[in-house]
Structure 1
């Protein structure tokens, strides 16, 4: 894979979004994942899980306590501070009380191959697919398929946002934001479709399930931060939005502060399972 510049995220932003991420994650994919992992645990060696672009470790905090048996998490990220934070905050026990251990690897996806994944039980990531390009997604799918390793890739943006009440500028801001997400050959809102095709092409069974953020009055702080980033990216892509976008953001932030704004940000989770473990789609 090429070394795409994956954005670095502030720990404060990751902490703010973690409850919304946890609520959105597609728990419907857990049963088929656990079934596949159980068949791979028959030798009693426990699970080895690679968490790509782990950030502050929210995937481990969500998933590790939902799995049984011993687990060894290998956390990958470019940011050494986030790696320390993620390692410190990873749960140390599984659902059945089995031990959970942690190791860290600093770096990007460029070095990830089937050899890297030798012995891996699972590859996982959150909010990663949409900041990859087509070549990187195909390489990730190929590495997982060759290693016979399932992949759970969560919270990829789908390019659809619903704001209530509606505003005449919503669609134009969304279109500009989506174009910004596709800059430089990144897949942005097309990533889940491309990843589904890539994993299937490499012989894996793919399941996709919706995992939307549903932000109401209780999430107003997160909504406000998200709005500023959403509109800011749209304006970076379309400077001509100018004063209209400034006024739009003012209106939206005022509604958010008054707890009068509801937002649904559509994401999807993707589970890819090696055949024949995954069965048919």
Structure 2
């Protein structure tokens, strides 16, 4: 699993404000109610530069975070970033753990009060998601998984070519590449089912990126990547993609294009 996400700190920084706006605060507050009194330990899987920690820490009491990621560079950025305070305005402790999440074991989550992840599930394979859910179930700590893609995209104004690119992008998300087949939009339902099969309670919430003239940089970067992935999956779209891209980017420059990108957040916890 190491290296499957070739993402930059710049991209993560660009998307962080929208991620924070989209995540389900309701599920986070329910998770907080499930936690024990006193200091807690949070394990964040696929932590990147630590955006989940910066969003969630102010909701929780005294806390220590363990950031698990396959990128030592991103983990270092997360640890060296300005740290958030907890809900009592006290500092938090942060430690990094670099490694392959496909090898995650219950021992890696020992002492966890809460396990989190953001924008992770959809890049996992079936085997990887079974391994990670199995480790979480064995740890018996609530699990908050945010921003898993569903494949749903709505562009406004609509264009008759939107559906073809959306279908190609969604197929690209579950293609086999480098010996792996990621789960894409099927990941969240699979994770939910695995937790339910273990007898856990599961709640979910639809969470949306709402991109428009207020975040043109993110809208442009997202749209370019969306189209590029669609063309990689369906090369016959290449000629039409040039015209499609030019028209949409012109709309972005004029503040006339908006996008609604659907995700889902999951909260799972062991039954009493």
Q: Which residue of 2 aligns with 1:77?
A: 69
Alignment equivalent of 1:181, drawn from 146, 151, 173: 173
Structure 1 consecutive aligned stretches of length 4 or more whose deviation exceeds 4 Å: none
Q: Which residue of 1 aligns with 2:109?
A: 117
SS of 1:115's partner is helix
- 1:169 and 2:169 aligned: no
Q: Which residue of 1 aligns with 2:43?
A: 50
1:146: Cα distance to partner? 1.2
Q: Which residue of 1 aligns with 2:202?
A: 206
Length-normalised TM-score, structure 1? 0.92
Unaligned 5+ segments in structure 1 are 277-281
SS of 2:108's partner is coil
Alignment equivalent of 2:246, drawn from 234, 246, 250: 250
User: Superposition RMSD on alpha carbons, in Å?
Assistant: 1.3
SS of 1:211's partner is strand
Per-residue CA shift, 1:85-128, capped at 9, x if unaligned?
A: 11122525311134310110111212311121111011111110
Preserved contact between residue 53 and residue 78 of structure 1 (Cα < 8 Å): yes
Distance 2:138 2:146 in 1: 21
1:6: Cα distance to partner? 2.4
Length-normalised TM-score, structure 2? 0.95
- 1:268 and 2:264 aligned: yes
Preserved contact between residue 57 and residue 90 of structure 1 (Cα < 8 Å): no
Unaligned 5+ segments in structure 2 are none
Per-residue CA shift, 1:176-206, capped at 9, x if unaligned?
A: 0000100122110111111110111122111
Q: What does 1:1-281 correspond to in 2, within 5 Å?
A: 3=1, 5-37=3-35, 40-41=36-37, 44=38, 46-68=39-61, 70-89=62-81, 91-184=83-176, 185-276=181-272
Distance 2:78 2:200 in 1: 29
Aligned length: 268
